[in-house]
Amino acid sequence: MLRFLIARTGALVAMTLLATLVVFLIANTVPGDPVLAQLGDQAASDPVFVAQWRHEYGLDRPLWERYGIFVVGLLHGDLGRSIHSQRPVLDDVAEYGPATLELASVSFILTLAVGIPLGILAAVKRDTWIDHLARIVSLLGVSSPTFWLAFMLLAVFYGYLQAAPGPGRLDPIGLPPPTVTGAYLIDSVLAGDWDTFRDAAAHMVLPSIVLASATIGLITRTTRASMLESIRQDYVRMGRAKGLKESRVIMRHVLPNALVPVVTLGGLAYANLLTGAVLTETVFSWPGLGRYTFLSAAALDFPAIMAITLLVAITYLVVNLITDISYALLDPRVRQ
Amino acid sequence: MTQPDPVLEVRDLRTWFYTDHGVARAVDGVSFTVNAGESVGIVGESGCGKSVTALSIMRLLEEPARIAGGSIRFRGRDIVDMTPAEFRTLRGAELAMVFQDPMTSLNPVLRIGSQLNEAMTVHGPSAAVAARRGIALLGSMGITSPERAVTSYPHQFSGGMRQRVVLAMGMSNEPALLLADEPTTALDVTIQAQILDLLQALNRDFGTAIMLISHDLGVIATICTRVIVMYAGEIVEQGPTEAVLAHPRHPYTWALLNARPGLDQERGDRRLITVEGTPPDPIAHPPGCRFAPRCPFRQPVCDEHPTLQAVAPDRLARCWLAGENDAPFVRQPRPPRPAVEEIVTAAEPIMEVRGLVKHFRLRGGFLSKPSVVRAVDGIDLTIQRGEIMGVVGESGCGKSTLGRTLMRLYKPDRGSIKFAGQDIANASAAQIRPLRRRLQMVFQNPYASLNPRMTVESILAEPLRFHGLTAGAAATRARVDELLGLVGLGAAARDRYPHEFSGGQRQRISIARALAVEPDFIVADEPISALDVNIQAQIVNLMMDLRERFGLTYLFIAHDLAVVRHICDRVMVLHLGQVAEIAPADDLFTTPLHPYTRYLISAQPALHGPGAGSGRLKLTGEPASAIDPPSGCRFHTRCPIAQPVCAREAPPMRMLRPKHEVACHFAERLG
Ligand code: SF4
Ligand code: SF4
């Protein structure tokens, strides 16, 4: 197991380095001139000013040199300076990141907490009304467009029923808890501020449902299919032949095997939740990285784009590593 | 004699599958009794209802199968009417079952120990008691270092070891009855012999009654004192094993016995007795005798359904002719066939192999170095035109690799292969292409080797067109029909797809495909292992016929020694990539010179009653690995007559009898 971990972490480092190169090359070879995007027609037509501006951001140096500077900076935690916000990109990420991380994590927990049990039930009670219900729920989740679902939920629960709070992370008059992690749910608990916790939790409900809707469907369907696959195995029949109760056969012999493919998909789903929140964040005025990314892309803000892309790549790699480890924990054959 | 004490009484059991196409009566009125401490075998071909009977007794049936009628009494209590909770206290405790495939019977993600212990704790004992007993049990099942075994995962064990674990689970609560469904079918003969010995010991030492289900009469004869023969959902014959084997009273039993060549039988006529056709569709059984459509002894009276009647003391048979005399079924004399020696024309080698080596590199992990599987490790072999060369050995001995390397599906690492005088070991793909047509291969699993999306016609026409053997569509079609006729399938098969055929018919199709290109040399890699006994005999007969008609040469790879002896002219015994012994078939089996050959022969289940095999040569231990073969003679880790020199020096190949070569330092001691 230790050897497995070392090997996997080594691979992670190598992949990250590769990712920096790819990100750098993509960002610096795409067509589109940041000068035009940033300076406006007037300033961009003044060659002296443009040269000065390019020099200031290091855009006049050779490509390989810029890559070197980029990597060395990364090692010092320097993601560069955003052209658009005029701040270090790291500061931007620190400001918007936790909001996204919190939303994605809550959605992920919701996905697992609903998707897996629903999938198990659907498989065990195959072809009964429970199975059909699970199918409808997952179908709706996967097929309804995010913004439509977001507007509908807002309209019904906020606008009409007044059962849910409006957009944003807190009520307009609410104050954020003292920053420790940046996740309001955690920080408010740490501060013992239960009012803020309730407020933050209530604001989390609708966006996390919207964000999780598609992944819940996927996880449910995968869990069900994988359960049905593993329920047919000989060792399951063997378990019954030992005299085990059906519930124990399911939980001990079917489920652990059925979860193996679900873990793979779960990792992917989490990475998607983290990186795919643009629409949800926009509709719910959620001050997260999704919106930041959108704005940076629109402004051809290269340092920000590179940093975000890299962050996404690293997120995928780390989630992948975690997936592999869970995989190995679940299946001894992978460990070797 | 004490009064027999039945543990299991099955009365008129009917287990039916309620399918969309109708009701399939898989088990249709089966009655039998198993007495305490008895060993009973149930034999029949696939689909005869033997497994479904066992699953009904364990109440492990799955939709759409249901018990439609009859009773099953276990120790006097009717288990069909028990509530599931009530039955669970018996299942696994007093009544246990082990299944066919040990590779899939264990949960891959749980440790052996916890899987074994739960079989006990669910019926009472505490975890600590179960853990202690589990270790003791594994030890008594012949697992070395059971303390380590309980912390291992299934994938770390070989098939034979896993079946021991599964048997330990079955025996963990000392059941009164153990149902074993084809427990050795997935194993090598050598391992099969060990597992059968173990079952016999369990029966003897614990007094556990055993109900052994198998398609192989030999396996059943090894340990069962009574045998039940099933056909099309019914019992057709029942009686003491020895009596049934000596004088079958039902034509189906007779056919099963004769379809199987005996290992100790001199070869006379090399054709096996077969009954044509396949078992009836369980949705529409014929109204009369269910065996009638295939029965060579059919009479007008057979239009009426025969009852299972006593035909002798302790013996029942379901046949109108069964009662008449002791041996109602006699083999019809057949026109004599040319002996093999006449077919093998002048000694003209078609395949000459020298020093053949084929290794496979296994990719190592991140920190572990890659290992090398020495699959074929220095083989010399000459095959004459028209000869049938048998290759036998345990799995992993390199027999399939040898076959594929001769076909040049693999490129050898070293050594030479001369096919019809041409070197093909180092030939380029382009140089081999014209020879491809003359070298063909038939595989074990005909389904996997036939493209499921192609009709039989296109499967057969493809090689014809590829090699330009027929001119025009009409000629191709005529040739396809001819080929189908050759392998005993009508032209009606032409437009159908592989899945519409039975296993035996698919094997006929793949043989037809091999024949399509008029080959000289055919490698048949376990061509009959996946088939029922009777179908095996049909395919063997077909292969013999084809050889006579077209002068084919076969390399016949198999693990069933009886079949090998029956059809092969010479046999080569492979052990860990090297030749242990090579000799004319009869000489090899009457005078084996290598201890390994002896061991293989004695492991083969034979058609004597149980106990007759007690003089068997017994080896313990698992085969060594071709990744890191033992030094010197590779068999020395298991050899009962090994001497110190065996671990140091590899024995040279020596010719000790005419055409009979052996690689053993001490072969004279066995001669
Ligand atoms: S009853 Fe007739 S058809 Fe049936 S097995 Fe006996 S002889 Fe053959
Ligand atoms: S050479 Fe030695 S170890 Fe090998 S088979 Fe002969 S006696 Fe046994």
The reply to whether residue A243 touches residue B108, judged by beta carbons under 8 angstroms, is no
Q: How many CB pairs under 8 A join A and B?
A: 83
Q: What is the pLDDT of residues B198-230, one digit of tens each?
A: 899 989 988 999 999 998 888 999 899 999 999
Cα of A219 to ligand 2 centre, how many Å? 58
Question: What band does B266 get if pLDDT is binned at 50, 70 and 90?
Answer: low
Would you state the pLDDT for residue B554? 93
Would you state the pLDDT for residue B405? 93
Residue B8 bridge partners (DSSP)? B34, B74
Would you state the pLDDT for residue B7? 93
Is B521 near ligand 2, meaning CB less than 6 Å away? no
Minimal C-alpha gap between A241 and chain B (Å): 6
Minimal C-alpha gap between A139 and chain B (Å): 27
Preceding omega of A117 cis (within 30 degrees of 0): no
Of B245, B217, B250, the residue nearest B231 (C-alpha): B250
* CB atoms near residue B34 (< 10 Å): 24
Q: What angle do CA B179, B183, B184 make, to 5 degrees?
A: 155
- Residues of chain B in contact with residue A7, where contact means CB-CB under 8 angstroms, are 365-367
Q: How many helices (H) and strands (E) does chain A have?
A: 16, 0
For the residues A253-268, what does the mean pLDDT come to?
89
- Residue B313 φ/ψ region, left for φ over 0, alpha for ψ in the -120 to 50 degree band, beta for the rest: beta
Would you state the pLDDT for residue B429? 83
For the residues B459-468, what does the mean pLDDT come to?
87
Minimal C-alpha gap between B109 and chain A (Å): 5
- What separation in angstroms does the CA of A169 have from each of A92, A101, A286, B41? 17, 13, 6, 72
Q: Pairing relation of β-strands B578-584 and B660-662?
A: antiparallel
Cα of B300 to ligand 1 centre, how many Å? 9
Mean pLDDT of chain B: 86
Q: Is residue A61 within 8 angstroms of chain B, CB to CB?
A: no
State the DSSP H helix or E strand holding residue B351, giving kind and residue range, or none if neither: strand B349-362
Q: What is the pLDDT of residues B392-420, one digit of tens each?
A: 988 888 898 999 999 998 899 999 999 98
Kindly tell me if the per-residue pLDDT of B339 is higher than 50. no
Cα gap A181→B254, rounded to integer Å: 81
Q: In sequence order, which residues have a C-beta less than 8 Å from that of residue B292 and are 6 or more positions away? A: B286, B298, B302, B303
Cα gap B326→B404, rounded to integer Å: 49
Q: What is the pLDDT of residues B541-569, one digit of tens each?
A: 888 888 888 889 999 998 888 888 888 99
Question: What band does A34 get if pLDDT is binned at 50, 70 and 90?
Answer: low
**Which parts of B472-577 are beta strand (E)?**
521-525, 553-557, 570-575
Cα gap A277→B74, rounded to integer Å: 62
Kindly tell me if the per-residue pLDDT of A144 is higher than 70. yes
Cα gap B504→B45, rounded to integer Å: 12
- Residues of chain B in contact with residue A331, where contact means CB-CB under 8 angstroms, are 108-109
Question: What band does B581 get if pLDDT is binned at 50, 70 and 90?
Answer: very high
Q: Whose CA is nearest to atom 1 of ligand 1?
A: B319
* CB atoms near residue A30 (< 10 Å): 10
Q: Looking at domain A97-286, which CATH architecture does it have? A: Orthogonal Bundle (1.10)
Cα gap B258→B296, rounded to integer Å: 13
Would you state the pLDDT for residue B335? 42
Would you state the pLDDT for residue B231? 94
Cα gap A141→A114, rounded to integer Å: 12
Is B306 near ligand 1, meaning CB less than 6 Å away? yes
Q: Which of B60, B107, B367 sits opposite A253 (nearest CB)?
A: B107
Q: What is the pLDDT of residues B507-539, one digit of tens each?
A: 888 888 888 888 999 999 988 877 778 888 888
DSSP A144-207: S-HHHHHHHHIIIIIIIS--S--SSSS-TTPPPPPPSSS-HHHHHHHHT-HHHHHHHHHHHHHH
Would you state the pLDDT for residue A221? 92
For the residues B464-475, what does the mean pLDDT come to?
85
Q: Is residue B155 within 8 angstroms of chain A, CB to CB?
A: yes
Q: Whose CA is nearest to atom 3 of ligand 1?
A: B292
Kindly tell me if the per-residue pLDDT of A76 is higher than 70. yes
Would you state the pLDDT for residue B40? 96
- ipTM here: 0.75
Is B633 near ligand 2, meaning CB less than 6 Å away? yes
For the residues A264-272, what does the mean pLDDT come to?
86
- Residue of A242, A253, A333 to mutate, interface with B, max B Cβ within 10 Å: A242
What is the pTM for the complete model shown? Answer: 0.80
* CB atoms near residue B205 (< 10 Å): 9
- First-to-final CA distance of chain B: 45
Residue-range domains of chain B with CATH = 36-60+92-317 (3.40.50.300), 445-518 (no CATH)
Question: What band does B338 get if pLDDT is binned at 50, 70 and 90?
Answer: very low
- Residues of chain B in contact with residue A241, where contact means CB-CB under 8 angstroms, are 58, 60, 91-92, 96-97, 99
Would you state the pLDDT for residue B90? 93
The domain limits of chain A are 97-286
The reply to whether residue A7 touches residue B166, judged by beta carbons under 8 angstroms, is no
Cα of B181 to ligand 1 centre, how many Å? 28
The reply to whether residue A10 touches residue B119, judged by beta carbons under 8 angstroms, is no
Q: Is residue B527 within 8 angstroms of chain A, CB to CB?
A: no
Q: Is residue B255 within 8 angstroms of chain A, CB to CB?
A: no
Which ligand is closest to the CA of B654, given by its number?
A: 2
Q: φ, ψ for residue B666 (rounded to 5)?
A: -120, 30
Kindly tell me if the per-residue pLDDT of B363 is higher than 80. no
Q: Is residue A257 within 8 angstroms of chain B, CB to CB?
A: yes
Is B164 near ligand 2, meaning CB less than 6 Å away? no
